[in-house]
Structure 1
């Protein structure tokens, strides 16, 4: 009996000892550092996001700081940082196309590798040079129409041009379920199956065009610049497809040429311009109107936190922003702008910002409707940068978190205080592109340019413009671009206002 009692005591002692040993290794306590991407995203969005006050999760009294267990649990609630950003931080964000897009935040983005975001903002991407719109035929078949070809790209050396039609890729007919992978996937090369219009249908014609992407391809946004002489007038024509800093000096040269030729009128073609750098937009507007550095071009509206401490006014400029070269200006009182449902952000900023000073004659379609601006943030919490990507802080970015985010920080008003064009800017002369008769860009008979020239000459009533038999496009080649419809408030966040 004593043996059994002793065995029981020994067993109990060992059990208690094991329990005590468990306490030596308590469960690991998680911190914000265990969720670097989510922590970084929250800190930026709580401080800078335009709709911070409207997002329950971003409320200043929601958590008790970075060590609050509820905050740590919130960071851990989404294992995928992308889901965390879009589902828990962005205001009613919907990743969608066209009419199904959210009426609030349609444009904030999060990218796993911030370098992809930075390159895209600089016009650098992996591209074969093919630009196109996608449509549906009467039988619901999907097809694409080439809108333009980027110079010096792979497509520029192939037998394919504006107005050409395709309805398949690599022998597969385009469908809703496969077009993402076929046209917008990671494949470096693909072969287009070309087609022809046949009434209100599209029929394959057996022709094939093989295209290959060029890594780190850089697009020059100055697609066409020329002078058109009509009825004794010299008319400057500039097709400009993106507001990119690297081409500001070249853009200034173009305006210098227009000025030297003493042009009478100016046409800016923004039909495919989805936006870009705000400073480049200010330069463009100043080149049109004048270097009136004492006159307001835009007033930025931030969230309530930032409105109290940031100066939001930016005037016209008399120099290029980076190289500080004297700006060539035309001092015009009227400008003609071709803009469509592909025209957004910084393009709309130029149109809206010029409106209080210049008669802006809009030819084309209702624009996208984006008055909000953004900036690029990375996980570098240095107080001197405040998580901003500066272009010089790559070595300081958290090696455990390479995510970059481009959230909306506010809205830009013009000098009249107007910024409410979420439904787009309305054309004075409406004309969509007719995909069966696109014409050659820059040619005087190209339908949108022809109408613009007719408006200038006063002969619009004498021309007949066909609007085409197909419905509007539902997507285009830039729809999944990281910076499609961007308005980047680069270098314009002013120092803190004096508290006196």
Structure 2
């Protein structure tokens, strides 16, 4: 039975560097022909995809296409690959639909890796998209704008609407191409809303996507004085490990300013690093490293080879570079919506056994699985490692981001594929989105009302709920991915 030396990713994407000879994953017996031998179809990508998914995919045992005994010979395996000439379609055919809503492939793994670090081509405009009445026409509404982006220099702000791109009405059939296509710039045709009716306006805004833009996930970090109570407010929009020290510095500020309550605003946060979620949870709850934050569950063939220490994540006392600044709270107010996913939900679920998590907003997206990045580096068991770029098959640029495991909290709870339901239901109102961080912004105001125990003067009636069909953050290469960042620890073979 062939074994592969298992190395790990450096920097900020998946696994940290490790060179121990003990770290060997046994992939089992799988067909392994020369994909170029006697084939009229280039099946290099398909061969990589099948091998990688057969080993790592969480639902490998349930997939009709990835069974260990599916093929009786290498020739049968090769014929099967040749019958699937399109790599992208082949990848999605291996997934277990009904269970897996989030695994994806990218034809350029370098784009995928960059996006996991928060680097992308962007104009800095984040928005939701909704349907206009009972039609297939689509409108957009601005949720927030990245500081120091192209959009931040233009006449456009949160709460504004648009209906057209380059003069063309947005529809369910064209919005992906018009807004998220290869076009590096476009002109938005703006709109107004009166009596819940959307009408085109003459205003236009031209935006340009800039290469290698990096979003600072900490949009707002400030301490509010609410009737004498110091309330920390954190608007946090993605879990990026490259900003861990900035996040810790924000909590140092909260501690120094005497904050005794926290409103954690993740209404637009689609997820990211599992380790960063652990650090954030520790900044909220405490640094007791004997308390379990989450436990992982992989597929059977991988799970059996991992140590209990690796499978269990505890609360942290250090970021790895500095001591955790923690508020040591007994409760936290979390603003979360359908745009809140993966690592955002992980923080909420991981904290639930230890403190009172008061969820304000809407039901979350429901993504409780994590992923890893796979590339065509067979000697590294297909795990991407930034130090092994020269070992990746130069004839195959595909990268995969499949779901490979599921997280459960200290109480063993993991079943929130339908989302986490709010304790206090309140939708964003498109007629009154408010200013993020302002005490009168409706969702924040509702949290502050709970904290103060006094009735707010704000009317929380929602005239036009923000029922989005999608948002800009779910159309990036990283989407709502949740990924690991620690070295594997394997049981002795």
- Please say if 1:490 is aligned against 2:485: yes
Secondary structure at 2:248's aligned position in 1? helix
Deviation at 1:30, TM superposition (A): 2.8
- Please say if 1:233 is aligned against 2:252: no
Deviation at 1:329, TM superposition (A): 1.3
Deviation at 1:469, TM superposition (A): 2.8
Match of 2:322 among 305, 322, 325: 325
- Please say if 1:267 is aligned against 2:263: yes
Larger RCO (CA within 8 A; separation ≥ 6): 2
Separation in 1, partners of 2:41, 2:118: 33
Separation in 2, partners of 1:468, 1:477: 23
Map of 1:107 onto structure 2: 102
Q: Do 1:277 and 1:346's aligned partners in 2 also have CA atoms closer than 8 Å? A: yes
Map of 1:79 onto structure 2: 85
Map of 1:155 onto structure 2: 151
- Please say if 1:425 is aligned against 2:420: yes
Q: Do 1:134 and 1:476's aligned partners in 2 also have CA atoms closer than 8 Å? A: yes
Q: Deviations along 1:367-417, whole A, 9 cap, x unmatched?
A: 0001100000111112xx321112221111000111100000010000000
Q: Do 1:273 and 1:342's aligned partners in 2 also have CA atoms closer than 8 Å? A: yes
- Please say if 1:378 is aligned against 2:375: yes
- Please say if 1:134 is aligned against 2:129: yes
Secondary structure at 2:473's aligned position in 1? coil
Separation in 1, partners of 2:145, 2:264: 19
Distance 1:122 1:227, change over 3 A: same
Map of 2:9 onto structure 1: none
Q: How many residues align?
A: 454
Q: Do 2:430 and 2:466's aligned partners in 1 also have CA atoms closer than 8 Å? A: no
Q: Deviations along 1:87-111, whole A, 9 cap, x unmatched?
A: 1x1112xxxxxxxxxx411100111
Deviation at 1:200, TM superposition (A): 2.6
Match of 1:344 among 323, 335, 341: 341
Q: Do 1:32 and 1:72's aligned partners in 2 also have CA atoms closer than 8 Å? A: no
Map of 1:43 onto structure 2: 51
Map of 2:178 onto structure 1: 182
- Please say if 1:201 is aligned against 2:194: no
Separation in 1, partners of 2:360, 2:142: 21
1:410-421 to 2 correspondences below 5 Å: 410-421=405-416
Map of 2:294 onto structure 1: 298
Distance 1:129 1:462, change over 3 A: closer
- Give TM-score scaled by structure 2 length: 0.89
Secondary structure at 2:353's aligned position in 1? coil
Distance 1:461 1:325, change over 3 A: closer
Map of 1:359 onto structure 2: 356
Match of 2:467 among 472, 487, 500: 472
Distance 1:70 1:479, change over 3 A: same
Deviation at 1:161, TM superposition (A): 0.1
Separation in 2, partners of 1:185, 1:289: 42
Separation in 1, partners of 2:134, 2:59: 42
Separation in 2, partners of 1:302, 1:33: 34
- Please say if 1:210 is aligned against 2:206: yes
Separation in 2, partners of 1:475, 1:49: 26
Distance 1:122 1:32, change over 3 A: farther
Q: Do 2:41 and 2:82's aligned partners in 1 also have CA atoms closer than 8 Å? A: no
Map of 1:58 onto structure 2: 66
Secondary structure at 2:233's aligned position in 1? strand
Q: Which runs of 5+ in 2 are unaligned?
A: 1-35
Largest Rg, 1 or 2: 1
Separation in 1, partners of 2:134, 2:405: 43
More helix by share: 1
Q: Do 1:30 and 1:72's aligned partners in 2 also have CA atoms closer than 8 Å? A: no
Deviation at 1:364, TM superposition (A): 0.5
Separation in 1, partners of 2:324, 2:194: 50
Q: Do 2:41 and 2:85's aligned partners in 1 also have CA atoms closer than 8 Å? A: no
Distance 1:461 1:206, change over 3 A: closer
Deviation at 1:138, TM superposition (A): 2.6
Deviation at 1:338, TM superposition (A): 0.5
Q: Do 1:33 and 1:39's aligned partners in 2 also have CA atoms closer than 8 Å? A: no
Separation in 1, partners of 2:82, 2:175: 34
Q: Deviations along 1:324-362, whole A, 9 cap, x unmatched?
A: 321111111111110000000000000000100111111
Separation in 2, partners of 1:118, 1:488: 11
Question: Which runs of structure 1 show a deviation greater than 6 angstroms over 4 or more consecutive aligned residues?
Answer: none
Distance 1:139 1:44, change over 3 A: closer
Q: CA RMSD in A?
A: 1.7
Distance 1:379 1:472, change over 3 A: same
- Give TM-score scaled by structure 1 length: 0.88
Map of 1:90 onto structure 2: 95
Deviation at 1:198, TM superposition (A): 2.2
Separation in 2, partners of 1:380, 1:302: 21
Separation in 1, partners of 2:206, 2:299: 48
Distance 1:202 1:463, change over 3 A: closer
Deviation at 1:464, TM superposition (A): 2.8
Q: Which runs of 5+ in 1 are unaligned?
A: 1-27, 93-102
Q: Deviations along 1:409-467, whole A, 9 cap, x unmatched?
A: 01000000000000000111110100110000000000000001001112358653022
